[in-house]
Chains A and B, each alone.
Chain A
Amino acid sequence: MTRLPHTLLIEELTADVRPVRPLASPLRRAASTLMALALVATLAVLVASNLTQFRSLHAGREVLLMLEMAAMLATGALAITGAFFASVPGRARGWLLAPLPFFAAWLLFSGTGCYNLMISNGGTGSGQPSGDSTHCLLFILGVSALLAPAVIWRLSRAAPIDPLPVALLGGLGVAALSAFLLQFFHPFAVTFLDLGVHLAAILLVVGVTGLLNRRALIGRKLPV
Chain B
Amino acid sequence: MAARLEVDLLKDGKPLTVARAAINADWSALLTAAQAGDADAYRRFLGAVVPFVRTVARRRCWSEDQAEDVVQDVLLTIHRVRHTYEPGRPVKPWLTAITVRRAIDATRKRGRVSAREVFDEHAYETFADPGANQEVDKDAPKILAGMTAGLTRGQKEAIDLVKVKEMSLAEASAFSGQTVASLKVNIHRAIKKMRLDLLGKSSE
Contacts and interface: CB of A to CB of B under 8 A. Distances in A.
Interface of A: 2-15, 17-23, 25, 87-91, 158-159, 161-162, 222-224
Given A4-B170, A10-B43, A25-B86, 9 more contacts: A2-B166, A2-B168, A8-B168, A19-B35, A20-B83, A22-B83, A88-B86, A161-B98, A223-B83
B191 interface: no
| Majority secondary structure, B binding face | helix
Nearest to B32: A22
Contacts of B170: 4, 8, 11-12
B56 to A, nearest CB: 12
10 A-B pairs closest in CB distance: A19-B37, A90-B93, A90-B94, A89-B97, A90-B97, A20-B83, A14-B43, A10-B46, A161-B101, A14-B42
A3 B101 contact: no
Contact of A6 (B35, B75, B95, B97): B75
| Majority secondary structure, A binding face | loop
A161 B46 contact: no
A183 to B, nearest CB: 36
A207 to B, nearest CB: 21
B174 A8 contact: yes
B119 to A, nearest CB: 16
B84 A23 contact: yes
B33 to A, nearest CB: 10
Nearest to B96: A90
B35 A161 contact: no
Contacts of B149: none
Interface in B65-112: 68-69, 71-72, 75-77, 79-87, 93-98, 101-102
Contact of A17 (B39, B76, B77, B81): B39
Contacts of B85: 22
A22 B68 CA distance: 28
A18 B72 CA distance: 20
